[in-house]
């Protein structure tokens, strides 16, 4: 497996996939007028998706592995929040099953990548300097 040196947050796979999650959430909201008028849900979903992305870059900027891990956990929980809110959007018929599945899987991917990164960083913490 070829590992690329991460020099900026844009190099992080989890961040790249979180960016796609944000795009999908915004597209879903913008394709349904009733959805876009449900301001509370819109704000919560957009906020959670953006938080999932932002916490990866913010954690990376902190430089400390322990702190970065905390931010990755926040990113993970924000992705889960998006998944939960998707059920509201589905039940209100703002989105169809296909869009639900697409966004749900994207949030899942972000969560898995966050977990993998957390695992990696934890393994680095225990290495002698």
Residue with tokens 């009733």: 34
The pLDDT value given to residue 6: 85
Instruction: Look at the domain 13-125 and name its fold.
Output: de novo design (two linked rop proteins) (1.20.1440)
Read off the pLDDT band of 126 (50, 70, 90): confident
Q: Which residue has the higher pLDDT, 128 or 121?
A: 121
Longest dimension (CA), the chain: 56
Read off the pLDDT of residues 40-52 as tens digits, 9 standing for 90 and up.
Answer: 999 999 999 999 9
* CA neighbor of 28 nearest in space, from 110, 81, 102, 118: 102
Examine the pLDDT at 39 and tell me if it is beyond 50: yes
- Please give the helix or strand (H or E) that residue 12 lies within, else none: none
Predicted TM-score (pTM) above 0.95:
no
């Amino acid at each position: 497996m070829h590992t690329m040196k991460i020099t900026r947050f844009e190099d992080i796979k989890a961040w790249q996939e979180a960016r796609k999650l944000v795009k999908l959430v915004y597209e879903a909201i913008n394709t349904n007028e009733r959805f876009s008028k449900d301001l509370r849900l819109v704000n919560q979903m957009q906020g959670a998706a953006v938080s999932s992305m932002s916490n990866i870059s913010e954690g990376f900027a902190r430089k400390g592995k322990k702190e970065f891990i905390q931010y990755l956990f926040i990113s993970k929980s924000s992705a889960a929040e998006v998944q939960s809110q998707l059920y509201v959007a589905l039940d209100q018929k703002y989105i169809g099953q296909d869009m639900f599945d697409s966004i749900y899987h994207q949030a899942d991917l972000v969560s898995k990548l966050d977990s993998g990164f957390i695992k990696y960083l934890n393994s680095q913490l225990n290495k002698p300097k």
